[in-house]
Structure 1
């Protein structure tokens, strides 16, 4: 049989591998947990086939394992209690995960499994860096199952936060009140300028352009969108807002500049926004550090909102329309260069091309239009350095309406009508998610001035011990005066 005849007989569900089959930006916890769970259950299946024991369960899925190591789900919310997911409940926990004697075997029997570990990797020259890599292990069954139990301590809470935060954003967009706006902020990967006929030196030294993407969800404006929106007949408009700049430092000053451009755009189309809801990832330098939270505490006076709320997605669970929007712009720019219709050699060229050719969208698109703004440089001469916020990595909701003050919560809530309209004191999920904590954001300059004016340190109320910033699982470094000391 010839090759072409053989290929014609190929099943319809079989296809050749392409670059699109690669799955990128996956969650480390989910990838590692699924791989380890599969290896453990395969080993357990072999043991059960030999021993025939009925004392333990062969789990079909991770959800089944999480359910068995947690208390019964609530009848109202169909969710586990937060205390159970955080492994703080005395009635459940990883201890309920029963294991066979063969799974506790520490003998010389070696089995293969995979996990992520930090390794020292040599890069250009003799420089060594620590990189997280997937390592194939060969160890006893006991080591593999003990590592599964270790991951099972934190995985349920991580999975719940990822699901919950995404659900809250969808609920808010579907029930968006008049005068409210939802934005999803994210930096796209820098665009690398190319040429149709590229010389060798340009190939190895490509100019990069910064691209920030914002997905806007707002009520339509009659004069601008051709259709109005009311509480009885809401009409939600979705737009893509891009900021292009040669500035490649992605920090809180850059994101503050983006917020200002979004605010100016909304004012230019007479879209009156009193409450701004922001959704971002948990990148500390861009959205979630003490400086970012300090910016949030002054956002109402900076942009003219009555209230601003910033919500953070769970780590590694931020992929969405904003990533597709940024990828579309870069792909179209590359195609224009390859076809020879445009020359894009700088950030200004990219902006001109995008604004001229990509502002309108297809009629079938869920996005009404694309808005482009160009920023030549970002103002970083701002007095926005603040004192640390305790356990800021655990915070997923920040709201502010007075300068210098924020209210924080571990998780967002837009599932109840009270939180959607702003009556936070009557939230129906307080028992599950906890209440808000008030934090006073103190600028470093003000703190230093108060210390200088004080005669002694005994009267300083905002003194903070290092132990307040250290919790279970925290990794920190200590600098010693004597370099010879271990």
Structure 2
């Protein structure tokens, strides 16, 4: 709905030509030119090309949305429109206690330990639909066995599958998924809120690094021949958003937004590449930006191959040995890791596409790096004042990344998937907790296991728990 109108917006399911043909078939005795018919389209009815393509959604959230949509459609068919549920958030609020002015629900409600809230309110509201127990058509993103035409074997792929299920049975499934989803969404929202607080005001002598791999850029050319179309080179783009306090005393500790885009011809997106990129970034910040940094906070998604695994945790424990800097990692909620790095990857690729359309040549990763250097932003503005919105492109050669590091071997940390905060405290030693807190105490004070009694959110995030990374032999370090 537009902000300045009460008219709802609709998008056509067919082209105007198809709609005109259907109309003529139903109104054969009425003469109306196609041009006149097209002009009669209401302004709040949009053409098909204005429908957005929405992708990369969380399957847990989307499967709940699909069930809610099925019940809403069923409610309309039964003339019970008042029973429709607006979205997953309304459904979740119906099974929780009131927030009473707080930003989040009580953790006891989220974890299902509260005796005052539950599924009764939602069950009572949906009772007229459930007692009918008619079959409901609904859809779900589920694994389906499909043939692999190259190997001849069956593989599993997620596809949208249609089911017909009695209303009562489907409602039981919805309740089960809502119980899981409320904690899932709470974690996503909590982590985002903590990251926002940290980025707004990083402590002195620290840097906040938000990082993620962008989708690889595929090199192409203007007026490209057919043979070249099927043999494109790819380029790794790894944006990092660095936030830190400006070292210029005249800036009164203003925040610097330093975008660092790693460009590489190495296409192996793994934890070893991330470690190399991190080393390069810390060296750049110290030597070229001239900042005094003693600790880094790394914010990323929970991809096991890149950021959240035993090797990544081991790298964090060895951070002071490798880079003379303390390291704390925090992870977005599962399936909710979108951040500014996605947009920054688009900036690089959009610039490259414009260069190519204007006749520029980008045939390799090094070409992309050199052609996009014009996007860099200097340390000072034209008037001589300090520029707090910076951008730097850094080239990392494939040969400089060691994808086999025998000295970084350990056993998996139990419960890795449920951990959202990890920090290194020594070679082969880390501390972990289930959620992240960046309150003043947690960002400014080192405290031992189980003693974080002054943390503002201890009841929610838990206390730090020390973990020895078994299997790691520090004596073998090179």
Match in the other structure for 2:467? 439
Q: Which of 340, 348, 357 is matched with 1:321 structurally?
A: 340
Q: Secondary structure at the match of 1:308?
A: strand
Q: Which moved more, 1:405-414 or 1:281-290?
A: 405-414
8 Å contact from structure 1 (residues 395, 411) kept in 2: yes
Determine the C-alpha separation between the residues in 1 that align with 2:34 and 2:80: 43
Do the aligned partners of 1:407 and 1:438 also contact (CA within 8 Å) in 2? Answer: yes
Q: Describe the SS at the equivalent of 2:212.
A: strand
Equivalent residue pairs, number: 430
Is 389-398 or 242-251 further displaced after alignment?
242-251
Q: 2:417 aligns with which of 369, 382, 393?
A: 393
In the alignment, is the contact (CA less than 8 A) between 1:183 and 1:216 conserved in 2? yes
The DSSP-based 3-state class of the residue aligned with 1:286 is coil
Contact residue 68 and residue 85 of structure 2 kept, 8 A: no
Report what 1:457 is aligned to: none
Instruction: Answer yes or no: is 1:351 the counterpart of 2:376.
Output: no
Shift of 1:9: 6.8
Deviation at 1:412, TM superposition (A): 0.7
Q: Name 2:286's counterpart in structure 1.
A: 267
Q: 1:391 offset after TM fit, Å?
A: 0.7
Match of 1:418 among 407, 423, 441: 441
Given the superposition, is the C-alpha separation of residues 359 and 11 from structure 1 closer, same or farther in structure 2, using an over 3 Å criterion? farther
* Distance change (3 Å), C-alpha of 1:394 and 1:142: same
Name the structure 2 match of 1:464.
Answer: none
Change (3 A) 1:197 1:19: farther
Residue of 352, 368, 390 corresponding to 1:333: 352
SS at the partner of 2:412? Answer: coil
CA distance in 1 between counterparts of 2:206 and 2:388 reads 19
Cα deviation per residue 1:351-371 (whole Å; 9 max; x = unaligned)? Answer: 11122x2213898x9842233
User: For the structure 1 residues 11 and 447, does the alpha-carbon distance in structure 2 shift closer, same or farther, using more than 3 Å as the test?
Assistant: farther
User: 1:192 deviation in Å?
Assistant: 0.6
Equivalent residue, structure 1, for 2:302: 282
Residue 185 of structure 1 contacts residue 322 of structure 1 at CA under 8 Å; is this kept in 2?
yes
In structure 1, the residue matched to 2:17 is none
- CA distance in 2: counterparts of 1:140 and 1:447, whole angstroms: 63
State how far apart, in whole Å, the 2-side matches of 1:26 and 1:400 are.
Answer: 32
> Structure 1 residues 142 and 251, CA, compared in 2 at 3 Å: closer, same or farther?
same
Q: Any unmatched runs of 5+ in structure 2?
A: 1-31, 382-386
Preserved contact between residue 317 and residue 429 of structure 2 (Cα < 8 Å):
yes
**Structure 1 residues 22, 366: CA separation in 2 closer, same or farther (over 3 Å shift)?**
farther
How many angstroms apart in 2 are the aligned matches of 1:159 and 1:85?
10
Task: Name the SS for the 1:69 alignment partner.
Answer: coil
Is 1:64 matched up with 2:90?
yes
Separation in 1, partners of 2:413, 2:316? 13
Distance 1:445 1:275, change over 3 A: closer
* Secondary structure of the corresponding residue to residue 21 of structure 1: coil
Structure 1 unaligned spans of 5+: 449-486
**Which digits, 9 at most, give the CA deviation of each residue in 1:451-480, with x for residues without a partner?**
xxxxxxxxxxxxxxxxxxxxxxxxxxxxxx
Alignment of 1:15-34 (within 5 A): 15-18=46-49, 21-34=52-65
Q: CA 1:446 to 1:295, structure 2 compared with 1: closer, same or farther past 3 Å? A: closer
TM-score by length of 1: 0.80
Counterparts of residues 107-146 of structure 1 (less than 5 Å): 109-125=134-150, 126-146=152-172
| TM-score, reference length from structure 2 | 0.81
**Shift, 1:8, TM fit:** 6.5
Which residue of structure 2 lines up, in the alignment, with residue 148 of structure 1?
174
1:101-137 Cα shifts (integer Å, max 9, x gaps): 6654696x43211111100123433243211111122
